[in-house]
A and B are shown apart, each in its own frame.
Chain A
Amino acid sequence: MSDFDLMTNTGSSVHRKRRIVNAVMTALTAACAVFATAVLLIIIFYITVQGFSSLSLGFLTDTPKPVGEGGGIGNAIVGSAMMTALAVLLGLPVGIAAGVYLAEYGKNWFGNTVRFVADTLTGIPSIIIGIFIYTLVVVPMGRQSGLAGGLALSVIMLPIVARTTEEMIKLVPNSMREGALALGAPQWRVSWNIVLPAAASGIATGAMLAIARITGETAPLLFTALNSRFYNFFYDQPMSSLTVQIYNYATGPFEVEHAMAWAATLILVGLILVINILVRFLTRKKF
């Protein structure tokens, strides 16, 4: 409105120029936003169209076969689920405990250091975590295994869970802590019985996002879990995963393999998007 008044009052070329610059920049920033959403829609469009054309029930339960004999991703789904479960089992409790520490006792140099290092660890390329677990687990064991893959994923999950837990616990009002302490509850009871339950749903949504993130990880599994052409239910053996299977199919020489890569991607991205949208829906109701 202010520009409009200036225009009509004076009408000088300086004001006209200012208004044109304003309009151009507004249009440009809007174009950037349109571009980003278009990229997302194009990617999802390709995954949906290409993926559905080669999706079938057999594909979801079968194991990889020589080219021309069909094949599927059944063992990869099981492998991904098993390694993610192991990562959650290890990474979630430790991550939550670390997050509670940061929120409740972390206002000192040690807490600041952990916070800083956790954020930096989140930014370290996941392939580095793969190398780390390779030297720590695969070399001593003498072979790749689902255990190594799950451990690598848990290392990736740990700092993410720690930081989201901390943020969620900080949202719990201090009056709740004070009330419990005034009633004579020891500090640990306050944290365990009052603060954690109050922050539970927030921590759970954070954990879901972390799970979505590690389900999509490929690089740390390449040489820790390796891959397997068969159903494998044992953590001490090489294990297949959706992401590594997509990588192998996508970089293979045959059309059939590419089609299977798209179908597997549809499953993977579908799962990740559902988790993200669900979290969005759950948190929107709360805040």
Chain B
Amino acid sequence: MAQTGAVGDKIFRSILLIAAASILLIVAAIFYMMVQNSIPTLERFGFGFLIGSEWKPAQEGFGALPFIYGTVVSSIIALVLAVPVSLGIAIFLVEQAPQKIARPIAFMVELLAAIPSVVYGLWGIFVLAPFIRNYLGVFLKDYFGWISLFQGRLTGIGMLTAGIILAIMIMPIITAVVRDVLEAVPSTQREAALALGATKWETTSIVLGNAVSGIAGAVVLGLGRAIGETMAVTMVIGNSPQISASLFEPANTIASLLAANFAEATDRIYLSALIEIGLVLFLVTFVVNALAKLLILSVTRDTSGGRPA
């Protein structure tokens, strides 16, 4: 009996170990396959690939800069818009609203995260883009047209629309993490502040101060999602490999370049260029997500007082 138990334990544990190891194996394989398949351009262009601004596949001109620029700028727009709103929602849900109101609202914000990217893209093309073309963009042009960001032709398809869609998409993710982080702050801190006569908001700002690295983690996590978000951006950004000072102009991101062009890339060097730029995206999102995870752990592990993470 004990014998079969010991053998069974070994077999069972080995199976589980292989399953767990498969996750490590997959990530290693992703890295290996992408490096392997981007060797032609790695050898031919070296680091010049990352700083070249010409993207002309037909003439074998491959510079990734327009896509890096588009990814960075659209992500910045998304963060600038989404972070304050997400913080507001999380504070409202954790610090202010009674349970009866907080629960359904929290659920609805979670549902925003469940809507597929391609659906945001569809909505972006037919609802958000016309709104920006006819109202928001016109407003920005009229009042802030002296800034080069808000000059140029207004079609509704471009960097600004992509940034706004991204903001909506990362908002529920940032909100969820900030909620967890705020809930991990011990309630004794709130009680102490309230007992000293602080107002509700003053109490909240103390709580925020103590959760700051976790909030930073939430923002970094949102950044990671914004960088990698693909379908919705592809559908509203206009897919044009240019670097323009205007947010109204079409642009392109790394992820949307891949989505729109990978299937038609038939010759070896073009495919290699796309995979290399995908490799850049993989490495950047991997590092950003790892950083976010470390920041969030630093808060939720120290103060929760429950099970070790």
Asked whether A40 lies within 8 Å of B119 as measured between CB atoms, the reply is: no
CB atoms of B12 and A120 under 8 A apart: no
Of B22-30, B40-48, B62-70, the one touching chain A: B22-30
* Residues of B162-197 contacting chain A, CB below 8 A: 168, 171-172, 175, 194, 197
**A6, A36, A121, A130: which contacts B109 (Cβ < 8 A)?**
A36
**Contact present for A250 and B89 (CB under 8 Å):** no
Does B92 touch A at the CB level, under 8 Å? yes
Interface residues of A in 100-148 (CB under 8 A from B): 100-102, 104-107, 110-111, 113-114, 116-132, 134-136
Q: Given A101, A102, A114, A276, which contacts B114 in the complex, CB threshold below 8 Å?
A: A276
In the bound assembly, the distance between CA atoms of A93 and B27 in angstroms comes to 19
B111 touches A121 (CB 8 A): no
- Interchain CB contact under 8 A, B8 and A250: no
- Whether A132 contacts B30 by the Cβ 8 Å rule is yes
Write out the residue numbers on chain B whose beta carbons fall within 8 Å of the beta carbon of A3.
Answer: 199-200
Q: Decide yes or no whether B123 CB sits under 8 A from chain A.
A: yes
Chain A residues with a Cβ closer than 8 Å to the other chain, count:
99
By the criterion of a CB under 8 Å from any partner CB, how many residues of chain B are at the interface?
A: 99
Specify the chain A residue showing the minimal Cβ separation from B231. A218
B276 to chain A, nearest CB (A): 11
- The CA-CA distance from A113 to B288 in the complex, in Å, is 17
Whether the pair A114, B118 counts as a contact (CB closer than 8 A) is no
B60 contacts which chain A residues (CB < 8 A)? none
Q: Nearest B residue to A3 by beta-carbon distance? A: B199
How far apart are B155's CB and chain A's nearest CB, in angstroms? 15
Chain A min CB distance to B24 (Å): 6
Question: Which B residues, 124 to 182, have Cβ-Cβ distances below 8 Å to chain A?
Answer: 125-127, 168, 171-172, 175
CB pair A114 B9 closer than 8 Å: no
> Is residue A189 contacting chain B, with contact meaning CB distance below 8 A?
yes
| Contacts A130-B262, A280-B107 supplied; 12 other A-B pairs, CB < 8 Å | A2-B199, A32-B85, A33-B97, A43-B112, A117-B24, A124-B228, A125-B230, A125-B255, A127-B228, A131-B262, A185-B5, A243-B118
Instruction: Please name the 7 residue pairs, one residue from A and one from B, whose CB atoms are nearest each other, closest first.
Output: A216-B116, A32-B88, A186-B5, A125-B228, A188-B12, A97-B19, A123-B289
Binding site for B on A (CB under 8 A): 2-3, 6, 18-19, 21-22, 25-26, 28-33, 35-37, 39-40, 42-43, 46-47, 50, 93-95, 97-98, 100-102, 104-107, 110-111, 113-114, 116-132, 134-136, 155, 158-159, 162, 170, 184-189, 191-192, 212-213, 215-219, 222-223, 226, 243, 246-247, 250-251, 258, 261-262, 265, 268-269, 272-273, 276, 280
